[in-house]
Amino acid sequence: MNNSSDVKVVIEKLTERLGNDAVQSVVPEKYLSDRTSALKGRADCIVIPRNTAEVSFIMKTCSGHGVSVTPRASGTGVTGGAVPSGGILLSMEKFNRIIEIDADNLCAAVEPCVITLDLNKAARDKGLFYPVDPGSQDESSIGGNVAENAGGMSAVKYGTTKDYLLGAEFVTPDGTVMNAGGKFVKNASGLNILAILSGSEGTLAVITKLVMRLVPLPGARRDILMKFDSLEHAADAVKRITSAHIVPTAIEFMERSAIELVSKHSGKEVPFGGADSLLLFRIDAGSDAELDRQEKAIVAAAGADEDSFMVARSEDESALLWSVRRGVRPAIEKESPVFLAEDCAVPRSEIPRFVRAVKKIFEEKNIDSLFFGHAGDGNVHIDILKRDIPDDRWKALLKELKPLIYKEALSCGGTITGEHGIGSLRKEYLPLQFTVEEIELMRRVKRAFDPEGILNPGKIF
């Protein structure tokens, strides 16, 4: 694949059809990495199509010459999904239109590079709401979210991207334009291609249009911050809340090291900033009375006394609390450009066991770590910063730690990644979670879409 004379011919053909504006052989640096720590790729050319017909032509041309294509949206992925390894980098950045907010059918038709938060803002103008809110929502795109099956803070109550995907137009690696689903909620026709595209990490097809489900905007919401003297106690509280069948919109957690890092890099003073661990709850409902009921139930289940929780009393207070939580990853990137970021997910009831087991591994090896994430849905983020650890020691440490963390998640009945995906970072660990036959089944699906293996090679498998 990517024989230099084939690449040259492809670039000539693409330039002739799409013009110099859309095809550039000098690829700007920013397109060669995403937000994965210490990962940089290379590409022979960047192509920026303007419409589906151009995507189809690009794929047909590349497929005819065995040249690889790596789709890219906003480049906020954290497992290297959009990082190219030669061939064509396909930037979908011009596919950035909200085509329609269809209030009658509670859905939106969008191009894939619409920014997640922009869809939410447009929906809100019509009294609707797009509930999937990854920490990167002001940068990431809906297409990137679909390709990664992104989750967010509100997954506890509202689910993840796959739960909102109603329809897609996509281009297969041989250039054929296809459709699945539409503006309808129920769909029992044939195999569920949307489910296969969801989380496919740009390895099966290039998405050119999406129909996403919207929901009515809740009438009222409230944010509650609760402090704990250990992460294990916070995890136990989450277990008691979910076991009591209380479903907040979000339950996020941060350990002190994560809070301190945000304070250091943003200068923000966090309420309860001296606590060992914090839980941040969002609840939403149709009325304040219902919010009062939910608040009481959460406080009772968590066993919190009146000094150990506070309720945000204004939009500014709410914004501060959420900016602290959303600020964790940017603060990590500033503190240490090289870091390990794991996002295992376990059944909610297993969070305390998982956290205790991983903490024990780190204590035995005397490693500083950061724990934060989406406690309400069992998605635990575990980060380790390289700081001044020498390169050789760092590499050896990752090799040793990653399988240990994954094995703990799997032994708790979980998965090695809850939302960030496999990309190029975790592919060697797939066999920890899946049997040979299960991986071969996934490979057969890949081959059915992409027999030549030209689309985003080297990812997932």
Ligand X SMILES: Cc1cc2nc3c(=O)[nH]c(=O)nc-3n(C[C@H](O)[C@H](O)[C@H](O)COP(=O)(O)OP(=O)(O)OC[C@H]3O[C@@H](n4cnc5c(N)ncnc54)[C@H](O)[C@@H]3O)c2cc1C
Residues that bind ligand X (CB under 6 A): 34-35, 70-78, 81-82, 92, 112, 134-136, 140-141, 143-145, 147-148, 150-152, 201-202, 206-207, 329-330, 419-420, 456
CB of 100 to ligand X, least distance (A): 18
In eight-state DSSP terms, residue 180 is E
Cβ-based nearer residue to ligand X, 63 or 294: 63
Cβ-based nearer residue to ligand X, 147 or 156: 147
**Residues in a beta bridge with 221:** 284
CB of 251 to ligand X, least distance (A): 14
CB of 289 to ligand X, least distance (A): 31
Cβ-based nearer residue to ligand X, 72 or 282: 72
Cβ-based nearer residue to ligand X, 235 or 332: 332
Cβ-based nearer residue to ligand X, 40 or 365: 40
> Which two three-digit tokens encode residue 399?
């090799």
Q: Report CA Rg, the chain.
A: 22
Order of strands, sheet of 23-24, starting from the edge strand that comes earlier in the sequence: 23-24, 45-47, 88-91, 69-72
Cβ-based nearer residue to ligand X, 85 or 105: 85
Largest separation between any pair of C-alpha atoms in the chain: 71
Cβ-based nearer residue to ligand X, 71 or 352: 71
Closest among 153, 365, 144 to 252, alpha carbons compared? 153
DSSP for 199-240 reads T-TTSS-EEEEEEEE-EEPPSEEEEEEEEESSHHHHHHHHHH
CB of 348 to ligand X, least distance (A): 17
CB of 174 to ligand X, least distance (A): 15
CA distance 62 to 91: 15
CB of 77 to ligand X, least distance (A): 3
CA distance 406 to 358: 10
CB of 213 to ligand X, least distance (A): 17
CA distance 308 to 291: 19
CB of 253 to ligand X, least distance (A): 13
302 Cβ contact list (under 8 Å, min separation 6): 226, 237, 240, 241, 279, 309
Alpha-carbon distance values, 188 to 37, 66, 161, 193, 275 (Å): 41, 36, 20, 11, 50
Q: In which residue are the tokens 């305390």 written?
A: 352
Cβ-based nearer residue to ligand X, 112 or 352: 112
Cβ-based nearer residue to ligand X, 238 or 299: 238
379-385/206-213 β-pairing: unpaired
Residues 24 and 14: beta-carbon distance below 8 Å: no
Helix 231-243 vs helix 351-365: angle between axes, to the nearest 10 degrees?
A: 170
Residue nearest to ligand X (CB): 144
CA distance 190 to 134: 31
Torsional sign, CA 269, 270, 271, 276 = negative
Cβ-based nearer residue to ligand X, 30 or 186: 30
CB of 131 to ligand X, least distance (A): 13
CB of 97 to ligand X, least distance (A): 13
Residue type, 355: V
> Which two three-digit tokens encode residue 17?
């059809």
Helix 391-411 vs helix 351-365: angle between axes, to the nearest 10 degrees?
A: 150
